[in-house]
Amino acid sequence: MKRNALISPVVKWVGGKRQLLPVIKKNLPKKYNSYCEPFLGGGAVLFNIQPRKAIVNDLNSELMNVYNVIKNNIDELILDLKKHKNESDYFYKMRELDRDKKKYNQLSDVKKASRILYLNKTCFNGLFRVNNAGEFNTPFGKYKNPNIVNENTLRAVNSYFNEVEITFHSKDYQKVLDSLKKNSFVYLDPPYDPVSDTSSFTGYNKGGFNQDEQIRLKECCDSLDDNGIKFLLSNSATEFIKELYKNYNPQIVKAKRSINSVSTKRGQVDEILVKNYD
Ligand SMILES: C[S@@+](CC[C@H](N)C(=O)[O-])C[C@H]1O[C@@H](n2cnc3c(N)ncnc32)[C@H](O)[C@@H]1O
């Protein structure tokens, strides 16, 4: 199948990889059978390379529900998205829905996915941020004309998901990596090691991803390497990460981050690419 340019991210996501795509593409392995992306987020890399066989995962179950619904209930989803209003009162009413967990859990998967897509398009900076209680807490973005429905992209992604062999998971990445077969290729884009204390995002999920988590991930990369599975990893090029992966001769690349929690800190940040193949 030819690459379809309409297939692209349906959510704006912290750490979105659009900017780094050219250098990631240059560094992909020449041959692999199955693609795996265990920290999927907005999926900029998946949607760009459009593999025919893939296993994708993100700990964020709300996000993975969005992908499941796009695959299985696209017409209902589009109908529901058309009902949303780009108004402050309506926005906060939608945002509040997760405050009462019992009620929230009674919503259908389509309603939950529609809410996340709506909030993502209309909230400030498109930032998916939850507080310690797991509640979405980004304010209203006051955009003039947000593309809430985005039907062409959603339909293109729906066709892609149904034409290829793709499996969705929402669990810790290690469980996904443990089940991979030999000819797999893994692209890992974990929550970044913070460049400075003030630039750290812990907004993706309750919990966060600290240095111990980065060390656990490096150990998983070593296991992939021991098992002959190719991996490519991106992260911020902090001293800690450079030291952690030094035995893989990492490359340092300059890239612009699309979203930063502190807007004055947007700009050039060195990134690191680590791989275990030529
Ligand atoms: C840097 S983002 C990925 C961005 C993505 N490459 C893109 O283009 O949008 C990291 C993702 O890892 C997920 N995550 C955090 N901890 C995780 C874990 N233990 N296992 C799996 N996913 C996790 C977060 O929910 C977040 O979506």
Residues near 104 by beta carbon (within 8 Å), at least 6 away in sequence: 97, 98, 112
Measured distance CA(270)–CA(252) in Å, rounded: 7
**pLDDT, position 263:** 42
Residues with CB under 6 A from ligand 1: 13, 15-17, 38-39, 41-42, 44, 57-60, 172-173, 189-191, 204-205, 209
Residues 183, 52 share a domain? yes
> To test the ligand 1 pocket, which listed residue (58, 127, 201) has its Cβ within 8 A of the most ligand atoms?
58
- The pTM for the full model equals 0.92
Assigned domain for 164 exists: no
**pLDDT, position 174:** 98
**pLDDT, position 268:** 57
Cα 41 to ligand 1 centre (Å): 5
> Which residue lies with its CA nearest to atom 11 of ligand 1?
39
CB-facing half-sphere around the CA of 122: CA atoms within 13 A: 24
**pLDDT, position 217:** 98
CATH number of the domain to which 138 belongs: 1.10.1020.10
Residues 203, 115 share a domain? no
Assigned domain for 166 exists: no
Residues 178, 266 share a domain? yes
* 129 DSSP β-pair partners: none
- Give CA separation, 155 vs 69, 70, 216, in Å: 12, 8, 37
Residues 52, 78 share a domain? no
Assigned domain for 156 exists: no
Residues 47, 131 share a domain? no
At residue 92, what is the residue type?
Answer: Y
The phi and psi torsions of 52 (rounded to 5 degrees) equal -85, -15
Residues 144, 191 share a domain? no
Assigned domain for 11 exists: no
> Which residue lies with its CA nearest to atom 8 of ligand 1?
16
Assigned domain for 198 exists: yes
- Report how many domains make up the chain: 2
**pLDDT, position 3:** 87
CATH number of the domain to which 47 belongs: 3.40.50.150
**pLDDT, position 261:** 47
Express each pLDDT in 130-176 by its tens digit: 777 778 889 999 999 999 999 999 999 999 999 999 999 999 999 99
**pLDDT, position 264:** 43
Compute CA 183 distance to the chain's CA centroid, rounded to the nearest angstrom.
Answer: 23
Assigned domain for 161 exists: no
Residues 72, 48 share a domain? no
Residues 204, 78 share a domain? no
- Give CA separation, 13 vs 106, 220, 243, in Å: 26, 24, 27
Assigned domain for 264 exists: yes
- DSSP string over 64-99: HHHHHHHHH-HHHHHHHHTT----HHHHHHHHHGGG
Cα 89 to ligand 1 centre (Å): 30
**pLDDT, position 179:** 94
Measured distance CA(31)–CA(28) in Å, rounded: 9
| Inter-helix orientation angle 88-96/109-122, to 10° | 140
Residues 231, 104 share a domain? no
Express each pLDDT in 81-101 by its tens digit: 999 999 999 999 999 999 999
Residues 126, 143 share a domain? yes
**pLDDT, position 198:** 53
Residues 182, 217 share a domain? yes
Sheet holding 34-37, edge to edge: 165-169, 53-57, 34-37, 184-188, 230-236, 268-275, 251-256
Residues 181, 147 share a domain? no
Residues near 16 by beta carbon (within 8 Å), at least 6 away in sequence: 9, 41, 42, 44, 258, 259
> Which residue lies with its CA nearest to atom 17 of ligand 1?
59
* Domain, as residue range, for 93: 67-151
Assigned domain for 3 exists: no
Q: Which parts of the chain have pLDDT scores under 50?
A: 202-206, 258, 261-264, 266-267
